[in-house]
Amino acid sequence: MYVCSCFGITEQQVKRHAENGACTPRQIASACKAGTDCGSCVRRIQALLGRGACPRRESADRGASVFAATDTLDEAA
């Protein structure tokens, strides 16, 4: 099912990016552009991320640093 119809991004693709370390809608946007056109999908992306799609989310919620993970993502982009 499509999450972002502007860029044809599916729920599975968003989950895969989350598994690879994208914990916020902005990081999902960096990975696949979802949410960067009309923006109507951002709330759905937030909902997906909030449902445990991102394994690092739990650490972030506990206050642990997730910056190492985002640094790695930026280098890969």
Least Cβ distance, residue 7 to ligand FES (angstroms): 6
Rounded distance, CA 5 to CA 8, Å?
5
In the bound state with ligand FES, the residue whose beta carbon lies nearer, of 7 and 66, is 7
- The β-bridge partners of 51 are none
The residues, any chain, with a CB within 8 Å of residue 21's CB and separated by 6 or more, are 27, 54, 56, 69, 70, 72, 73
In the bound state with ligand FES, the residue whose beta carbon lies nearer, of 28 and 69, is 28
Least Cβ distance, residue 36 to ligand FES (angstroms): 6
In the bound state with ligand FES, the residue whose beta carbon lies nearer, of 40 and 72, is 40
Helix (H, G, I), strand (E, B) or coil at 46: helix
Residues that bind ligand FES (CB under 6 A): 4-6, 34-41
